[in-house]
Chains A and B, each alone.
Chain A
Amino acid sequence: MKNLAKHLKRILGKEKVFHTPEDCLCYSYDGTFKTGIPGVVVRPSSTEEVAAVVKLASQEGIPVVPRGAGTGLSGGAVPLEGSLVIDLTAMNRIVKIDPAEMLAVVEPGVITAHLHKKVENMGLFYPPDPSSANVSTIGGNIAECAGGPRGLKYGVTRDYVLGLEVVLAGGEVIQCGGETIKNVSGYDLCGLFVGSEGTLGIITRANLRLLPKPQARQTIRADFKTIEGAAGTITAIIGAGVIPAALELMDDVTIRCVENFLRTGLPLDVEAILLMEVDGPAVSLPGQVRTIAALCRQHGAARVKVAETEAEGVELWRARKAVSPAVVQVKPTKISEDATVPRKNIPAMIRGIKEIARKHNLVIAIFGHAGDGNLHPNILVDKSNPEEMERAEAAIEEMFRLALSLGGTLSGEHGIGLLKAPFLEMEFGRAGVAVMRRIKEALDPPGILNPGKIFGGISS
């Protein structure tokens, strides 16, 4: 490892290579409870440097783990012991924003919220908004195909990637896609790399599609006595041709946690709260809001609140934004899952999760992006209690089975990473996973790129 560090220093300069035990420990984790201590860490500042590092790693047969902000929730950036971590956050330039082409060209280390702010100041809009957007990087968002509340109306990261520059396992640099919306030349390699979790190549630049920034937005909150009432409302709203920019659900456990934390007067006698936001031209809002409010009442909403001012909107959102700090007041560790089902099956999913919680004697707060079926059951545990962690793991497996039986998927937006790797065959069968494996082997014959992720098989 010392020798490798010496080589790396020759390539990058010594200020970009770190290999003390202390530095390596600081790169041993992401947003999950998994850890693995790398052997050396580099912080390159250009595609050429990344390519040179990967080339050296492939010659030496050293596993390479690319990393953004390390906020992932599936273990995608947790290093294999002794591997080489490439921290891409020093490559954080927004290369250009072209309003005429509605295009942003960025390096992978750009922080998602910085891009949001920059383009919104120009009247443009980059919709993907994972809840970690204030710190997460575009590179990490692409590698995990991040989503967020706006997914229902605007789609996910995949829908905004027009082109990529990728460093392959041997150190070669390729371009995929391009700068145009339409591009059907050859295979869709861009689509292949989005969500590939660093197992196929390392993204060093991205061309992102932008939209015009919506002129106005308005928030509505509705409280429901039953989950079924809330779920019926969701399908009715979408059936009526209104697509909210956000459609968030909080279940009774979540509501209680938030109310205990904020004391803002949330109803404690309801099973669900829906928080909805519509956006678009200002003239279109009143109509959208009227339709939604009417449908909420038709489906038995106990209360419907429409924010008349921006401040009222912020107040309504405050409860949703407080969920993370609120739930950890119960137990210090939250395991956030993101199994996703077709939206018509949300009631069955929620009832099923509650049954699992009862069976394993766990507190599970359910909230999330109900509009696209992407719920976040958060298991509240204490990681220092191994017995409780065991029950949590059993519950997670049952939740996965439940989601799949309801026509859903293991992961809506967090990725498979390390945590869900053992279950991938449950979703796609042996043959389905074998196809993915063959793709991996074709692009990364030595198997040095983020080993163990998606496919598992390597304990970290």
Chain B
Amino acid sequence: MNDDVGAAKYQINRCSKCGSCREVCPVFSEMGGEPWVARARVQLANAAIEGQLGFSRRFKEIMESCLLCKACVTHCPNGVRVDKLVLWARQEAVRKQGLPFIKKSILRNVLRYNHRLELFARVLAAYRATGLRLSKREGLLLPARTAPFGRLAHIKKLEKPSLLVAYFTGCMTRYVYHQTGQAVLDVLEKNNVQVVLPGQYCCGMPALAAGDSQTVRELARRNVESIMKAGVDYIITDCATCGEMLKNYGEMFPEDTVRDFSNRVQDISFFLVHTIGTLPKTGELPLVVTYHDPCHLKRGQGIWSEPRKILAGIPGLSLKEMAESDRCCGSAGSFGLTHYDLSMKILRRKIENIRATGAQAVVTGCPSCRLQIEYGLKEEGIFIPVMHTVDLLSQVYGPANASLSLPSVCQRQELVAPTANN
């Protein structure tokens, strides 16, 4: 994993301190001071390795304020993996000082156990049903469902499937965006791909981001064991974050089975475009949409042309690109809760870029981004839906000549105003 000081030193040595990261770091552009930019985090990591600085409160504050969006990594002329250095620093801090109580309770006692996660989701759902709002941050809490997707989903047994895939639903689809889960199943079925839903756990990204390598290892082990037993050709996910994390298992735990597992992981959009090729569409969607590139999809997995190809293949649909489509929305997992004000500032820029396109809907490939953008649009009084690429695609596989309107493709209809904002 990242606990290799040598690997960290290699990255640090490559930083020429040119300052190019000042141009692209979303956190820095809101904070303004040098400590908040990638270059500074590299130097801080170096100081920690050299024993010049300890893992103080300020040190952790600076390291924890990174979105891990990798904008700096892609932009860096030397390709310094700042994200890995930040993760290394967080992990070292945990190794030396342990996890804070709340984080520890969630990561070690909830995240690792599906039934506890489910209970957690239920409590959330029940709390939201009461209509109570104790804090403005709650808008970012999951609009959780009471039952996980896997239990409700009905998967048809295909006669002669072309491929067998495991669907890794991810916590967001499992507990929040059931319709996206259904869309994935529909699209795969139409393409004659047999889906199975083997037992699965959180991908481990929240633990990785918190520096809890012990939980990461445990979750990776359980996922690999359970899913590899199913003997599938591919492992498909609709979540950019889960996808990146599952693909990284192989590098983090270099054993043959784990590598084999990681090599089989494909994002749904990649799978549809490259592995099976999508079917001819029968429906039409006369919509103007804009697309938000999730960090974990574009920079994390190099997937940005695939969703656009899918969108371009939808009859009647037109894509109006927003400015800075690949700039982080500020969600970054629990970052929105732990750094609410900063996350909202970063989100505001995203929302402005969306507003400027005049699009009727926002499409993206990550449920976390979706939740964040939905929240931002609502706060700004912009009533347009946010959808997963697959949500749209599944609509045009429907009965021939079915022409669909905006509300019918919008999962959370309460977000659509009577007159669609243009």
Contacts and interface: CB of A to CB of B under 8 A. Distances in A.
Interface stretch (A23-31, A144-152, A207-215, A451-459): A23-31
Given A22-B62, A43-B32, A87-B34, A384 B16 contact: no
Interface string B7-48: 000000110111110110000000011110000100110010
Contact of B32 (A90, A333, A382, A383): A90
Contacts of B16: 31, 328, 332-334
Given A22-B59, A69-B22, A135-B23, A29 B17 contact: yes
B58 interface: yes
A185 interface: no
B78 interface: yes
Contact of A22 (B13, B23, B58, B79): B58
A332 B40 CA distance: 18
Contacts of A20: 56, 58
A325 B79 contact: yes
Contact of B13 (A71, A89, A384): A384
Contact of B19 (A31, A33, A334, A384): A31
Given A43-B32, A135-B23, A332-B14, A25 B77 contact: no
B43 A25 contact: yes
Interface in A191-214: none
A35 to B, nearest CB: 8
A69 B40 CA distance: 12
Interface string A1-30: 000000000000000001011110111111
Interface string A34-74: 00000000010000000000000000000000000111000
A71 B77 contact: no
A224 B16 CA distance: 32
Contacts of A132: 18-20
Given A22-B44, A26-B43, A328 B23 contact: no
Interface in A302-335: 324-325, 328, 332-334
A135 B43 contact: no
A22 B56 contact: yes
A26 B23 contact: no
A9 B275 CA distance: 61
Nearest to A113: B23
A69 B19 contact: yes
A134 interface: yes
B43 to A, nearest CB: 6
Nearest to B62: A22
Interface residues of B, number: 26
B53 interface: yes
B20 A134 contact: yes
In the complex, which of the residues B33, B47, B58, B59 has the most CB atoms of chain A within 10 Å of its own CB atom?
Answer: B33
Contact of A18 (B18, B33, B52, B56): B33
A143 to B, nearest CB: 15
Contact of A71 (B19, B32, B52, B79): B19
13 contacts: A18-B35, A21-B53, A22-B53, A26-B34, A26-B62, A29-B17, A31-B19, A71-B19, A90-B32, A132-B18, A132-B20, A325-B78, A384-B13
Which secondary structure dominates where chain A touches chain B? loop
A116 to B, nearest CB: 13
B44 A25 contact: yes
Contacts of A23: 33, 35, 58
A111 to B, nearest CB: 8
In the complex, which of the residues A89, A135, A324 has the most CB atoms of chain B within 10 Å of its own CB atom?
Answer: A135
Contacts of A324: 18, 77
Given A22-B59, A90-B32, A384-B13, A28 B43 contact: yes
B59 A27 contact: no
Contacts of B34: 26-27, 70, 87
A459 to B, nearest CB: 19
Interface string B253-278: 00000000000000000000000000
B77 A26 contact: no
A323 B62 CA distance: 32
Contacts of B78: 325, 328, 332
A45 to B, nearest CB: 10
Contacts of B40: 25-26
B349 to A, nearest CB: 15
Contacts of A32: 17
Q: Which 7 A-B pairs have the closest CB atoms?
A: A26-B40, A325-B77, A26-B35, A71-B19, A135-B22, A22-B58, A324-B77
Contacts of A25: 40, 43-44, 47, 52-53
B137 to A, nearest CB: 23
A324 B17 CA distance: 13
Contacts of A384: 13
B22 A332 contact: no
Given A22-B56, A23-B58, A132-B18, 15 more contacts: A20-B58, A22-B59, A25-B40, A32-B17, A33-B17, A70-B19, A71-B18, A71-B19, A132-B20, A134-B23, A135-B20, A325-B78, A328-B14, A332-B14, A384-B13
A313 to B, nearest CB: 22
Interface in B338-382: none
Contacts of A28: 43
A379 to B, nearest CB: 12
A73 to B, nearest CB: 9
A25 B46 CA distance: 11
B345 to A, nearest CB: 16
Contacts of A325: 77-79
Contact of B33 (A87, A134, A333): A87
Contacts of A382: 13
Contact of A43 (B13, B17, B33): B33
In the complex, which of the residues A18, A22, A23, A43 has the most CB atoms of chain B within 10 Å of its own CB atom?
Answer: A22
B155 to A, nearest CB: 45
